[in-house]
Copies of this chain bind each other. A is one copy, B any other.
Amino acid sequence: MDSVQPLSPPSRVLMGPGPSDVAPSVLRALAAPTVGHLDPAFLKVMDEVRAMLRVVFGTENEITLPMSATGSAGMETCFVNLLEPGDAVLVGINGVFGGRMAEVARRCGAEVVTVEQEWGRALSPEQFREAGAGRPFKLMALVHAETSTGALTDLAGFREAADEHGALLVVDAVTSFAGRPIEVDRHGVDAIYTGTQKCLSCPPGLSPVSFSERAMKVVRERERPVQSWYLDLSLIGQYWGKERAYHHTAPVNMVYALHESLRLVMEEGLEARFARHAKNAAALRAGLEAMGLELPVPAEERLDPLTLVRIPEGVEDGATRKALLARYGLEIGGGLGAFKGQAWRIGLMGAACTERNVVLCLSALKDVLASQGFEAKADPVAAARAALG
């Protein structure tokens, strides 16, 4: 074959739905010398990763560890470990990732009942109460922060709804982890998963999960083995736990990067980090609205790390995103599912969540929209500045 040149990726500003910009020290950690997956030096890294994951999840769960695959595998981990064929599950769908949960549950042989909600809106415990009334469910699942719409569902009240059904509570925290409070133990969540490439600002490749003791009891007492050997938590827990039993070869360098990205979260402090995400998101929204753009998600249900913006009439989706990338090296996300071609998704996650990026994005978008004949109603940067105070 023709000779292949060494790669030389461009420098982007990543303000899509993830991956987000990665901090320099995380990239350095990623490139640290590889050691064996049972090296004493690596076992220490693993223990520190688990301790820090517990802090960010807000849990004391023993089984808290990163799965060796991306966020979607974390989703699958929750379902394959907890479900057996014929189990009934109740899944909330208010976007792509709720729909994916239902699909994954079906592939486990589960009988899936869905709780449908308009895309761009939050789910409520009442919807789950009503949808499942009168029958038991093995588990109940919902997305905390819908990456496809930027809608945030408050987790309060879902534990009680799950209890009414005798159900385990499973939550997708892919886009909220390290950007919004999660508080797994306080909300009584039984199984939760996330990805590394959103508010944690680590490259994609790992999926931290946490399982409550109640959930692990279900895993231990299964009738059939977990249908996925690779994602079987009863085996993986023995590698990350005291036994250090070999299961698969851990992705050592990715775990290094996760360690450093979590360390940066600890250094900043959770409250300060959440406040930073809230403040910059407020500024971004103020700027977008000042330009005359519409934000489809109601104000009280908006997710700080990801903002949905309706594409104005007469403006082309693809041309706009291409121009942002070409002129500014700026990536924003297109719409998914019901919002495909209808909306953009602008991320402010982790290391990318800065005043600089708010101002860059607003200015670049104003410029590119002007090329397509869309005139901003007011100066978005001034509005953002006013919101930042």
Contact = CB atoms under 8 A, between A and B. Distances in A.
Nearest to A28: B31
Contact of A31 (B16, B31, B41, B76): B31
Contacts of A250: 70, 204
A228 B107 contact: yes
A104 to B, nearest CB: 5
Contact of A251 (B4, B18, B246, B254): B254
Given A103-B229, A228-B107, A254-B254, A249 B9 contact: no
A73 B51 CA distance: 26
A246 B335 CA distance: 12
A73 B230 contact: yes
A86 to B, nearest CB: 14
Nearest to A14: B36
Contacts of A33: 9-12, 22, 27
B229 A104 contact: yes
A230 B76 contact: yes
B34 A19 contact: yes
A127 interface: no
A35 B7 contact: no
Contacts of A1: 51-52, 55, 266
A37 B263 CA distance: 25
A72 interface: yes
A227 B227 contact: yes
A34 to B, nearest CB: 5
Nearest to A16: B36
B52 A249 contact: no
A9 B45 contact: yes
A29 interface: yes
| Contact size range, A | 35 or more
B29 A6 contact: yes
A197 interface: yes
Contacts of A9: 32-35, 39, 41-42, 45, 256
A259 interface: yes
Contact of A227 (B35, B41, B107): B107
Contacts of A103: 229
B249 A204 contact: yes
Interface string A220-246: 000001111110000000000000001
Contacts of A41: 9-10
Nearest to A106: B225
Contacts of A248: 70-73
A35 B19 CA distance: 7
A236 to B, nearest CB: 11
Interface in A330-360: 331, 336
A195 interface: yes
Contacts of A247: 72
Contacts of A331: 35-36, 39
Given A14-B34, A69-B230, 4 more contacts: A27-B32, A69-B73, A100-B229, A204-B252
